[in-house]
Structure 1
Amino acid sequence: MTISLKNSRDAELLARAQRVVPNGVWGHMATRSIAPGYPQFFAKSDGCRVWDADGNEYIDFMCAWGPNVLGYGHAEVDGAAFARMKQGDIGNGPTEVMVELAELLVDTIDHADWALFQKNGTDATTASVTIARAATGRRKILVARGAYHGAVPWCSPSMVGVTAEDRAHLAQFEFNDIASLDAAVAAAGDDLAAILLTAFRHDVNRDQEMPDPAFLQQARRHCDQSGAALILDDVRAGFRLDVRGSWAQYGVKPDLAAYSKAIANGWPLAAIAGNERMREGAAKIFVTGSFWYGAAAMAAAVKTIEILRDTNALAHSAAMGQRLREGLDMVARRHGFTLSQTGPAQMPMVRFAGDQELRIGNAFCVAALRHGIYLHPRHNMFLSAAHQPADIDRAIAAAETTFKDIAALGITPPRI
């Protein structure tokens, strides 16, 4: 289905916003960082679909940049949250649901002996680093070069407004490179507090890379030998790949893991799950927020995790991702293009081979909007349990027409 995109309402809202908000929209959801032609404001969402401010409908393959794991507006999840909200959400202290959620996480996540709650992924990664330093009495944090762990001075991808002192005890190594990791550990010496890793390599605008089990085992070995903490930043992948934790399949247990995004199917929540060795450090530090004990989001998380644990939702989203991957590859080859599709099938990064400047990717994704498909040219995408075979097949059919559209613009396969 081809639609004629309306954007007058979107343009009006952006103009209004720019008068009262710096840049109009900030951060990773600002569409100026994607490609011209993307809608910026949205009106509603349901299942695996979103509607922009002008009423244009799309099958959504960004899932709110990760939080939507079961489907927008999931009746059971939202019902649990709304029921809790009627009793009270933010109060003078936590409700019973906080204890219930912590117990569920300890029972579900394979390394967890306790849990703490926050609101955003950056809250969780920052608190994890703080806990590691408190537990070890050391300062140095090792991170993979190019990895994203949040948007505050110690880890922001931007150095604007950030001082060198903010990064004074941050050191880097190359992901999946054991020799590089070994060298970074040696340089940190007896001041090593933690090694911090994402579930797999998902840096922006590059192919994704799954972890080498030997690399993870070496990281675990270094932490065991030195007394440092191994931290899993599972903010993006957690509760989307495996409810036990994204490294469960590798048999490597972190000391601390940070979660957010999919934990409550869109309700604002983050969590840290830690082992017994990190408990004292967690008990010593002071981290807090006025909304961190919000009960409605916790109730949503309990229901979300129960559904993920007790149904085939994760297997279904992986199957839908594989169906999309195979269909896109087939269509692309028919039109002479080669795709690079990396990462887990339910968290796909789709790039055109030889498209270093993203000229093809940008044009393709903008054209796909006109066929009711919302894709992203330089960030990994997401599938949810709400995506059904008919949705994937429609997206593949739209891709067929989209390739014809970009050919009409004079875009041809690059020489590789």
Structure 2
Amino acid sequence: MRYQRSSALFAEAKKFIPGGVNSPVRAFKAVGGEPIFIKKASGAYLYDEDGHEYIDYISSWGPLILGHAHEPVLNAVIAKAKEGTSFGIPTQIETQLAQLAVEMVPHIDKIRFVNSGTEACMSAVRLARGYTGKDKIIKFAGCYHGHSDSFLIQAGSGAVTFGSPNSPGVTQGTAKDTLLANYNDLEGVKTLVAANKGQIAAIIIEPVAGNMGCIVPTEPFIKGLRNLCTEEGILLLFDEVMTGFRLAKGGAQEALGIAADIVMFGKVIGGGLPVGAFAASAEIMSHLAPEGPVYQAGTLSGNPLAMSAGLAMLTELNNKPGTFDSLAKKTAFLHQGIADVLTQKGVPHQINRFGSMVSVHFCEAPVIDFASAAKGNNDTFKTYFHGMLDQGIYLPPSAFESYFLNDAISYADLERTVQAVAKVF
């Protein structure tokens, strides 16, 4: 049995952990079968408990942009750990990472560190509401901003109806303040704004979506959102937990040429350790405690190990800006290779790509939002996923997730991946 050890570990995990995992997508529910358990990783490769090697296309869902066990990051964490792991008291390294992040990202003056992307998005929405004095927010179907109650909302019966909870435990009271729009549909957003005139604090969006596959915003849509927010006194929130420090030094704001009012970070900014952050102008951030009335706190926020990993990672990226071009070229190479194979084999497909994010959709029509992403052939995806896994290629175990390349992946790895696709089909 190829995955005997992993299967045994999964059975044991289910005795003590709900579903056997600490984050649902890891359970392979979307693709069937049982998850593999990873023992170690290095560079572009994962090694499971059964001794198999895999080329990794999730990079821990984004943060390991330079590859696993990247030496400067490891060395920074080891050195800092020897001085103590947590204090709950200010440290210099928090300011060092904050200064570097502010220097790299446009349109921000100050940044607050938290412990996850979920916490960053939750806190940013609270800040937006406190700053504007308004209650409602607009989010987009298919965009994931963590599991805070405000974000676990699906649409009602019409474009201008209140949202309804799509997870037990989310109250109707919370749901009524979250309005749902469709990605790349500016007119739909304008309709919501008009129907809720003067009540909307913020529009929150993944500027390049990664949770319905990789979905790229059209230029009229993303520019239109910026103009609409400016005209209506609404704050534009960019959830850059995935895109921040991945698409460019300055993230999606730089890559798209669009200024957000509040930006949320995670993934890369922690170098592989649990970190989130949110940032804005000095004026907006002055409303945050202890300067202002909007409360946010966290015992492990600014943890020295996480700060040291993040500082090492951002320093590497800041000193080697060619990394982003290198990753984009590798991703384009992979895109073209997979597209050529699927076309030759007569497999209906759409491939979306931006920078080092890419996704393969088994459908005929372009994928521009959640509804079009949902039309993909899930049976074909399951065959694709497990076929690639058996050939040593680890892809996201869901048709609704972007791939995240890391720069340790070689062109030989990419060629091997394309050849694996040909074998699967």
TM-score by length of 1: 0.91
Name which of 372, 385, 389 aligns with 2:392.
372
Q: Is the 8 A contact 1:255 1:277 kept in 2?
A: no
Corresponding position of 2:278: 272
Corresponding position of 1:301: 310
CA RMSD of aligned residues (A): 1.8
Name which of 378, 392, 410 aligns with 1:388.
410
Q: How far did residue 218 of structure 1 move?
A: 2.5
Secondary structure in 2 matching 1:236: coil
Q: How far did residue 34 of structure 1 move?
A: 3.1
Corresponding position of 1:406: none
What letter is aligned with 1:396? V
Name which of 298, 303, 319 aligns with 1:310.
319
Corresponding position of 1:198: 206
Aligned residues: 397
What letter is aligned with 1:188? N
After TM superposition, list the pairs within 5 Å mapping 1:5-404 onto structure 2: 6-156=2-152, 158-204=166-212, 208-283=214-289, 284=292, 285-311=294-320, 312-353=322-363, 356-376=376-396, 377-378=398-399, 379-403=401-425
Q: How far did residue 345 of structure 1 move?
A: 4.8
Q: How far did residue 221 of structure 1 move?
A: 2.3
Secondary structure in 1 matching 2:122: helix
Secondary structure in 1 matching 2:198: helix
What letter is aligned with 2:363? A
- Superimposed CA distance per residue, residues 297-345 of structure 1 (whole angstroms, 9 cap, x where no aligned partner): 1111112112112212221111111111111112222222233111315
Q: Is the 8 A contact 1:325 1:345 kept in 2?
A: no
Query: Which stretch of the first structure deviates more once superposed, 36-45 or 51-60?
Result: 36-45
Query: Which stretch of the first structure deviates more once superposed, 224-233 or 45-54?
Result: 224-233
Q: Is the 8 A contact 2:247 2:255 kept in 1?
A: no
Query: Which stretch of the first structure deviates more once superposed, 208-217 or 368-377?
Result: 208-217
Q: Is the 8 A contact 1:105 1:273 kept in 2?
A: no
What letter is aligned with 1:303? A
Q: How far did residue 26 of structure 1 move?
A: 4.0
Query: Which stretch of the first structure deviates more once superposed, 346-355 or 371-380?
Result: 346-355
Partners of 2:296 and 2:332 in 1: CA distance? 40
Secondary structure in 2 matching 1:282: coil
Secondary structure in 1 matching 2:231: helix
- Superimposed CA distance per residue, residues 68-114 of structure 1 (whole angstroms, 9 cap, x where no aligned partner): 11110000111112212211231031210001111111111101100
Decide whether aligned partners of structure 1 residues 330 and 236 sit closer, same or farther in structure 2, where only a CA change above 3 A counts.
same
Partners of 1:389 and 1:250 in 2: CA distance? 27
Q: Is the 8 A contact 1:235 1:261 kept in 2?
A: yes
Decide whether aligned partners of structure 1 residues 94 and 358 sit closer, same or farther in structure 2, where only a CA change above 3 A counts.
same
- Superimposed CA distance per residue, residues 98-151 of structure 1 (whole angstroms, 9 cap, x where no aligned partner): 011111111111011000001111010001001101111111111112321111
Secondary structure in 2 matching 1:107: helix
- Give the gaps of 5 or more residues in structure 1: 404-416
Q: Is the 8 A contact 1:124 1:259 kept in 2?
A: yes
What letter is aligned with 1:255? D
Query: Which stretch of the first structure deviates more once superposed, 43-52 or 29-38?
Result: 29-38
What letter is aligned with 2:216? M
Secondary structure in 1 matching 2:287: helix
Q: How far did residue 44 of structure 1 move?
A: 0.7
Q: How far did residue 27 of structure 1 move?
A: 2.7
- Give the gaps of 5 or more residues in structure 2: 154-165, 365-374
Query: Which stretch of the first structure deviates more once superposed, 226-235 or 274-283?
Result: 274-283
Partners of 1:169 and 1:372 in 2: CA distance? 45
Query: Which stretch of the first structure deviates more once superposed, 365-374 or 224-233?
Result: 224-233
Decide whether aligned partners of structure 1 residues 38 and 237 sit closer, same or farther in structure 2, where only a CA change above 3 A counts.
farther
Q: How far did residue 28 of structure 1 move?
A: 3.5
